[in-house]
């Protein structure tokens, strides 16, 4: 009989700590709703003490999300734990996750505490957290570089104090799978009390080993894995949820381990997180990359046509992806459009649906083949943008080898048309300067990324931009067959997000 492990998703906490991945409360709620559909066991909704915004977002998730355990991170400090307890209090099922450094370098250089002091602090804070919440997780930070005997000592002490989950983090991605798997085995052997509670792991990807380290730990006896959608997180990121889950599912005879994850929601979860954070998924990313189920080599194509399993070890359908190419065209009606979107997992409100259908018709006139990826981009335009304070009305671009690039555009603001004309080093630069002139603000452009959704010269292009204003990052997303228009739509989406959050 196979055993089942818990999936602890920290996309909203560790994932959001990825530079430039800042999310507002509504975006966090949208991701939390999708994580619920994905059926994760625990959602780490944030670090409540970090800021008033973090506290409010954790609280909102705790109030509105039903099903998963809702968790907040807290250092082994009373003020952290109290704040975390207040934030998760509305949840049907709540958890406080507290941590303290246990490696020699963390204790000496960061904490400036002796080992005995660290153990005492951990025990006192676990007991304090227990007074607010029955479900307490404890992490010895930087466990991968901690001395084993000290780990055994502090783990036993916090279990005696009331911890219900012990998490072993490879905080800096230092260990290898052989070492990490052995560490888990040694902890189980030397702390017998841990067999009565959950033993979790949290691996970082600094050496590209986060997923394999997590799998090695699970095989060694861990009962919970902490991970993020698309593997986003601090520095090189965290263990990727989709890779861990699909490895266990695809290689079930080897691992003999199951999860509660509804894998058909994986692709949609990946797209949602990518669009809201502005962090694009690399084409060759395992499971959710654009090329994950693509076959270009003739011998591969021939094999897949004869028998899919010759070159595919899992089906696209198993992660919620459809393979169909030419699905809809300019003669397709609204009902077919709605049905296809629902088949892809998207249900839009009436107003957004009408806008999406209008966008579909425009694009269908511009390109011959409308694929699932095109439809997802159209849906994303309506799902992932904030309220439009500024709307694009018209744009004219002049560019070439003998003329200075310039852009003339008009925006609609409060029902009134505003126009501007600017020149720049290129057409996008000129268009952005014109937008800045109309809006009256000049945020710093931190990142500008173009991605072709499908092949061909008429491909729908996606543009993601990140702008910075007053030390805050705002992300915008746009899609169009004209990459200049897509660029302006993405920039306006970021501007609108900035305006809405400041109002």
Of the candidate ranges 95-99, 208-212, 225-229, 302-306, the one whose mean pLDDT is the lowest: 302-306
Name the pTM for this structure: 0.77
DSSP class per residue in 406-441 = EEEEEEEETTEEEEEEEE-SSHHHHHHHHHHHHHT-
pLDDT at 49: 97
Would you say residue 297 has pLDDT above 50?
A: no
Would you say residue 503 has pLDDT above 70?
A: no
Give CA–CA dist 230/234, Å, rounded.
13
Of the candidate ranges 48-52, 109-113, 307-311, the one whose mean pLDDT is the lowest: 307-311
Task: Tell me the C-alpha to C-alpha distance, in Å, between residue 5 and each of 9, 23, 352.
Answer: 13, 29, 38
The residues facing 8 across adjacent strands are: 42, 226
Would you say residue 381 has pLDDT above 80?
A: no
Would you say residue 250 has pLDDT above 70?
A: yes
What's the mean pLDDT in 52-61? 95
pLDDT tens for residues 123-143?
A: 999 999 999 999 999 999 999
Asked whether the beta carbons of 122 and 97 are under 8 A apart, the reply is: no
88: its two tokens:
């998760």
Size of the chain, expressed as the number of residues it contains: 503
Count of CB atoms situated within 10 Å of the CB of 7: 23
pLDDT at 275: 86
pLDDT at 4: 97
Q: What contacts 188, CB < 8 A, 6 or more positions away? A: 194, 195, 199, 220, 221
pLDDT at 383: 65
Asked whether the beta carbons of 256 and 2 are under 8 A apart, the reply is: yes
Full set of structural domains in the chain with CATH = 3-277 (3.20.20.70), 293-323 (no CATH), 325-380 (no CATH), 390-502 (3.30.160.270)
pLDDT at 457: 65
Q: What contacts 129, CB < 8 A, 6 or more positions away? A: 74, 81, 84, 85, 96, 98, 136, 162
Asked whether the beta carbons of 330 and 362 are under 8 A apart, the reply is: no
pLDDT at 423: 94
Beta pairing, strands 94-101 & 69-75: parallel
pLDDT tens for residues 393-412?
A: 999 999 998 999 999 999 99
Q: What contacts 281, CB < 8 A, 6 or more positions away? A: 230, 270, 274, 288, 289, 290
């Amino acid at each position: 009989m196979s055993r089942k492990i818990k999936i602890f998703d920290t996309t909203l906490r560790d994932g959001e700590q990825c530079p430039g991945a800042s999310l507002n409360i509504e975006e966090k709620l949208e991701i939390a709703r999708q994580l619920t559909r994905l059926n994760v066991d625990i959602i780490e909704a944030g670090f409540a003490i970090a800021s008033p915004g973090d506290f409010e977002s954790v609280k909102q998730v705790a109030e509105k999300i039903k099903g998963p355990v809702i968790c907040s991170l807290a250092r082994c400090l009373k003020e952290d734990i109290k704040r975390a307890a207040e934030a998760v209090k509305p949840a049907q099922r709540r958890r406080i996750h507290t941590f303290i450094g246990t490696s020699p370098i963390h204790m000496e250089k960061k904490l400036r505490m002796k080992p005995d002091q660290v153990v005492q602090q951990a025990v006192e804070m676990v007991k304090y957290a227990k007074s607010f919440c029955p479900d307490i997780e404890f992490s010895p930070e930087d466990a991968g570089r901690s001395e084993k005997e000290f780990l055994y000592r502090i783990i036993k002490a916090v279990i005696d104090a009331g911890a219900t989950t012990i998490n072993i983090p490879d905080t800096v991605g230092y260990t290898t799978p052989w070492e990490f798997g052995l560490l888990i085995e040694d902890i189980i052997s030397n702390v017998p009390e841990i067999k009565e509670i959950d033993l979790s792991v949290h691996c970082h990807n600094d050496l590209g080993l986060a997923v394999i380290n997590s799998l090695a730990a699970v095989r060694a006896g861990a009962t919970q894995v902490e991970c993020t959608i698309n593997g986003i997180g601090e520095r090189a990121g965290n263990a990727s949820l989709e890779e861990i889950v699909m490895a266990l599912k695809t290689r079930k005879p080897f691992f003999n381990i199951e999860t509660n994850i509804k894998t058909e929601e994986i692709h949609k979860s990946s797209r949602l997180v990518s669009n809201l954070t502005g962090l694009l998924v690399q084409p060759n990313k395992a499971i959710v990359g654009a090329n994950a189920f693509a076959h270009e080599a003739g011998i591969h194509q021939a094999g897949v046509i004869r028998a899919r399993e010759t070159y595919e070890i899992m089906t696209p359908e198993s992660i919620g992806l459809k393979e169909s190419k030419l699905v809809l065209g300019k003669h397709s009606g609204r009902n077919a459009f709605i049905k296809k979107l629902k088949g892809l997992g998207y249900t839009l409100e009436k107003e957004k649906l009408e806008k999406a259908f209008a966008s579909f018709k425009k694009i269908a006139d511009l390109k011959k083949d409308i694929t699932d990826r095109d439809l997802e981009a159209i849906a994303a335009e309506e799902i992932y943008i904030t309220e439009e304070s500024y709307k694009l009305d018209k744009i004219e671009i002049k560019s070439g080898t003998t003329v200075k690039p310039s852009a003339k555009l008009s925006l609609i603001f409060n029902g009134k048309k505003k126009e501007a004309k600017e020149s720049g080093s290129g057409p996008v630069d000129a268009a952005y300067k014109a937008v800045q002139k109309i809006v009256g603000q000049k945020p710093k452009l931190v990142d500008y990324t173009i991605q072709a959704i499908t092949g061909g010269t008429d491909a729908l292009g996606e543009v993601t931009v990140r702008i910075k204003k007053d030390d805050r990052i705002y992300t915008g997303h746009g899609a169009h067959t004209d990459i200049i228009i897509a660029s302006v739509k993405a920039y306006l989406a970021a501007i609108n997000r900035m305006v809405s959050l400041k109002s």
